[in-house]
Amino acid sequence: MAYDDLRSWITALERAGELKRIVTEVDPILEISEITDRISKAKIPALQHRTSERHTPGPALLFANIKGYRRAQVLINQFGSPRRMRMALGVDSLDEVAERIHGFLDVKSPQGFLDKVKMLPRLAEMGRFFPHVAASGPCKEVIQRDSFSLLDFPVLQCWPKDAGRFITLPCVITRDPKTGKRNMGMYRMQVYDEKTAGMHWQRQKVGAEHYREALRAAAASRDSAPGRAIELMARTSGGSQLPDAGVPAGRLQVAVAIGTDPAVTFSAIVPAPPDVEEYLIAGFLRQKSVELVKCETVDLEVPASAEIVLEGYVNLNELRNEGPFGDHTGFYSLEDQYPVLHITCITHRRDPIYATTIVGKPPMEDGWMGKAVERIFLPLMKLTIPELVDINLPLEGVFHNLLIVSIKKSYPGQARKVMNAIWSLGQAMFSKCIIVLDEDVDVQDLGEVALKALNHIDPERDIQFTLGPIDSLDHASRLPNYGSKMGVDATRKWSSEGFSRPWPEEIVMDQKTRDLVNRKWASLAKEIGLE
């Protein structure tokens, strides 16, 4: 099911019993975060009986009485459970999306006229997903070119030592200055004042690359040496100091959509292939194209049904302190310097709903979004690493600290090959610890993973270390964005890998006895008191 906008999504959540409207007055400074954190972790006695899943996350929340904000509403925790993630993408199982992706990836080159004819329906279906630009849309109901303020919206301060208020669920749109291709990413934004905000695109993100492309172009226009441009790029998007007067002047246009339909919002976080636009991914997920409108003051297109749109630019010669910020690692990310977004125009729907999220110690809303990415994009990983059977990014691993994979092992040293392949894949390059197991291990069962991995390894032999890029939020690395990673080969060892001892069999009951007990189990369970 495709949701036309955030409001139809809210209606669907409410009908499904997955959303609660809160009329008690709440403060956007810390109080909404504390309430949502408790709901995310089910610290409410009324929720404790729900034991069908490992965690018992509470409902999405729509706050309708915000202190200091007349008629404002705040939506939070919209993706904060496995069921709501499935609802957001209109499926009963996330594997359905993975299967659709696999179906498109499995298209073979046509060998003749008949094959080409058979491909026409598939091509027509793909055509439905491309975005289209409309003359106007709901996000244009109110247009503010002069008298506007970011402080008119109930932006949250999430944690006590945050540097201030942060926009945490923005869809940030930029255009590659070199190719003209659009990108949509999700980068937090610290609100500095009425018309400026920090643009926290980490250096490995596409938005930061667009910024660097603009720097390259500006440096080239001034006949700067290539080395100078590289130095400038290294000192921006999370650098350690402000650039000096030699930085070339110029701007990169930016638009920010807040409160989009769930497929668009989710698409902003997916690790898309570089040449695949997020609007196309959103169209694929919702099985319906995304309608866009042109911005008023910048040459960019935004979702027509967005609740709020910010338009503006970042100067290429301006960085400012951003942070600290209570992050999804469970710790505060440290203060650093990032570009500044200058707002030139704000458009929004009448009485806009401010969509936001909080991150912190898992489990929280972003964890369920990450698990959806894990399921949906496994087929894409298998294109590069075909021996992959399954992957697990545990919530406690906060996306980049731990990746558990199972493989179909066919030759010696294959587990190490897989580790290195993962470290070469997009955002997976930040995986600090990778554990590789055999195909018969259920990587979703952490108890089985611990049992098999710890039994199967000789630490000196089976653990390897390497150096490379590290997630910007990793506070333990020796340098910002650079540090060590660990791979663990927890597969069975073969003689061709130098293991000469016999490998023991796993303890498993024989099937005859299992069948015998199965026939008696109903009465036994009653006697034992298991019913």
pLDDT in tens, 148-168: 999 999 999 999 999 999 999
**The model scores a pTM over 0.75:** yes
Tokens of 50: 């729900």
Place of tokens 């590789």: 436
CA dihedral over 8, 11, 12, 18, signed as positive or negative: positive
Name all domains of the chain by residue range, CATH numbers in brackets. Answer: 6-88 (no CATH), 119-355 (2.30.110.10), 385-497 (3.40.1670.10)
Average pLDDT estimate for 1-22: 94
**pLDDT over 90 at 57, yes or no:** no
Report the candidate in 194, 348, 351, 205 with the shortest Cα–Cα distance to residue 269: 205
Q: Which of 236-250, 290-304, 368-382 has the lowest mean pLDDT?
A: 236-250
Question: Are the beta carbons of 231 and 264 closer than 8 angstroms?
Answer: no
Burial 380-401 (b: 16+ CB within 10 A, else e): bbbeebebbbbbbbbbebbbbb
Question: Are the beta carbons of 362 and 175 closer than 8 angstroms?
Answer: no
- The distance of Cα 484 from the centroid of its chain, to the nearest Å, equals 23
Mean pLDDT, the chain, rounded, equals 87
Task: Determine the pLDDT at residue 98.
Answer: 81
Confidence label for 104 from pLDDT (cuts 50, 70 and 90): low
Task: Determine the pLDDT at residue 217.
Answer: 85
Strand, helix or coil for residue 148: coil
Confidence label for 242 from pLDDT (cuts 50, 70 and 90): very low
Strand, helix or coil for residue 176: coil
Task: Determine the pLDDT at residue 219.
Answer: 80
Tokens of 519: 């026939």
Query: What is the maximal distance between C-alpha atoms in the chain?
Result: 86
Q: For residues 264 and 258, give the distance between their C-alpha atoms in angstroms, rounded to a whole number.
A: 10
Query: Which carries the bigger pLDDT value, residue 297 or residue 118?
Result: 297
- The distance of Cα 514 from the centroid of its chain, to the nearest Å, equals 43
Question: Are the beta carbons of 270 and 373 closer than 8 angstroms?
Answer: yes
Q: How many CB atoms lie within 10 A of CB 102?
A: 15
**pLDDT over 60 at 250, yes or no:** yes
Catalytic residues: 327
Task: Determine the pLDDT at residue 319.
Answer: 93
CA distances from 188 to 135, 178, 483 (A): 29, 25, 24
Strand, helix or coil for residue 34: helix
**pLDDT over 70 at 243, yes or no:** no
**pLDDT over 60 at 48, yes or no:** no
**pLDDT over 90 at 35, yes or no:** yes
**pLDDT over 90 at 357, yes or no:** yes
Tokens of 442: 């259920």
Task: Determine the pLDDT at residue 111.
Answer: 53
**pLDDT over 60 at 444, yes or no:** yes
Tens digits of residue pLDDT in 361-412: 989 999 999 999 888 888 888 888 999 999 999 988 888 899 999 999 999 9
Confidence label for 74 from pLDDT (cuts 50, 70 and 90): very high
Average pLDDT estimate for 19-39: 96
Q: Which residues pair with 320 in a beta bridge?
A: 338
